[in-house]
Structure 1
Amino acid sequence: MTPAWPRLLPAAVALAALIFGQDALSLAPNRLMPGVPLPAREVLPGWAWLLLPLLALGTAPWRHAPIAASAALLVLLAALGAAAAGLLEGAAPAARATLGATAWVALGATAALVFWPGQRRLLAAALLALGLGALAWGGVLDGLSLAVEFRARREAVGAALLTHLWLSLAALALALALASVLALAGLASTRLTGFLDALLGGVQVVPAIALFGLLVPLLAALLGVFPGLRAAGFGAIGATPALIGIALYLSLPLLRALRTGLTATDPAVLQAATALGMGRGRMLAWVRLPLGLPHFLGGLRVAAVQAVGLVTLGGLVGAGGLGALVFEGMAQFATDLILLGALPVVALALAVDAGLGVLERRA
């Protein structure tokens, strides 16, 4: 059982933000204009202070603490939604009730309690997702500006999410194929190890934006020499440079994980396998790969989370995905549109990390 005192800090931050903060919500004339900040103590309904006992349970030294924190987060969201609906009563149709810095600090601190390492964390996350769905379906959050922006762009957000997932999986698969070939080549010839590390390590120090920028003219020149590639679906902008650039970034952690897993087998085990008449292929499939699985999954976990984040930058080269919403929001100075692209990226990264973390621990 983990001690309770470290969890007191995020709970204290959440309460301090709600009690002393001055901008839990802001009422703006439209989606682009700044609003009038309003403190939580003035706009939240009285039942919102159910947070106090729930946060206390969320910091208690028991295994259900993350579930109590999840309930506290849902109560806080429902209270903010009710407050936003109250502010919009009698306001102009274009008026927006936007979450302020105080609300985001309180929500983030409470979410930290939900995802705090320990027991019942995944169950708490699942209950939180169900609760969010119930609040959205019941219209509790409809008054919040972020929900209004989502309703206006529901189809675009859904398409961007699917594109983001596809790009992440495709880049990860491409990087895994490249890393597997390089790992096997390094296993056959140790001289290649240093060269491959230096080559892929050099890619890591290049900023992603610069790498994408370099790939665009290089691919344009390549397509000029081989126009048939364009007919096959390749392009100088769009998914092609994004996938190549992201795969290059992901290859190094995958290569190191594969190499560590392939070389981690006890020499005595390899000698026994050789004595049984196993060749290199059977030894790789039946001995090295199964014994190196924990290392493989560790590298895959890191690379998968990186893929979800790096695909966001693919919006800069026309690859689409949630990054396109983020950059569109930046161009319009629309905070809600930025969050509409950024928040799903954070949720995807957390979900991927948690899911692969479970597989890694079991392996």
Structure 2
Amino acid sequence: MEHRYLGRSGLKISEITYGNWLTHGSQVENDVATACVRAALDAGITSFDTSDSYANTAAESVLGDALAGERRESLEIFTKVYNATGPKGPNDSGLSRKHIMESIDASLRRLRTDHVDLYQAHRFDVETPLEETMQAFADVVRQGKALYIGVSEWTAEQIRDGVSLAHQLGFQLISSQPEYSMLWRVIEGEVVPTSAELGVSQIVWSPMAQGVLSGKYLPDADAPAGSRAAHESTRNAISRWMTPELLGRVQELRPVADAVGLTMSQLALAWVLQNENVAAAIVGASRPEQVTENVRASGVRLEPEHMARIDEALGDVVERDPARTAERMPAQRPS
């Protein structure tokens, strides 16, 4: 497992990071979740990403239990704040000072630790002044409850404003967590150049496009039993990729994967890691063997000819419009 610096900081994280968005506390039993975390540790993964809103706080608890007994200094634990939690009252979401200060304490209890290495704004809060949000993050850092601050799905302009305020307040905003894959490249036009300029790295989610880039979904065929496309709770999230044209294009990646000696999943992970501004790709798992397979993408370097063949295979099914980041921004706090 290789490690990369996160932003313009001295913190190193594993370039394959284990995340539990759609699994822990919901899709898989806790013993399976623990087995997946153990497989991640055995494979050299040291970085673990979660959120207080995943499974309405349950995912943090499952991860905290799974990591219990590990040397805390050998781990990098990330969590997030913004989305609605608990009974979802008027102050149970967003980036107000009240919600941030209460949420960090609750997250630390569930994760069974006295600090997280990275505390991330899960989305931009249009209802709270950015100054209030960043002051609260500054206080969380000064209290030792988080070592660094990051954001998720912020636009380039929002990242620039956040970094500026962080500098003024004496702490570091060092990461951005956007969606990024061979099929979804909207960060390349604005977010990545701005982040590189400001010393911010990407920790990318859905690098396999909800599993579509694994090649297991075939055009005009039913989704495999047990897959995300077949599961009622995750079917909607993956539906945008499930067109015959796109799935047919994905199948054209198979010869490229074969040529470099990788599975299609490994190729998808290796592809995002070719971007110098990407510090890590987040992978989830519902079985330990998935973790073991995915970590083999660490350290892989794809030749320019292979990158070109990937572009040629996917053609115009790739989404590149930078405006899509702003379009997906919540118009109000979730409830």
TM-score above 0.5: no
- TM-score, normalised to structure 1's length? 0.25
Structure with a larger share of its residues in helix: 1
- TM-score, normalised to structure 2's length? 0.27
Structure with a larger share of its residues in strand: 2
Point out the structure with max Rg over C-alpha.
Answer: 1
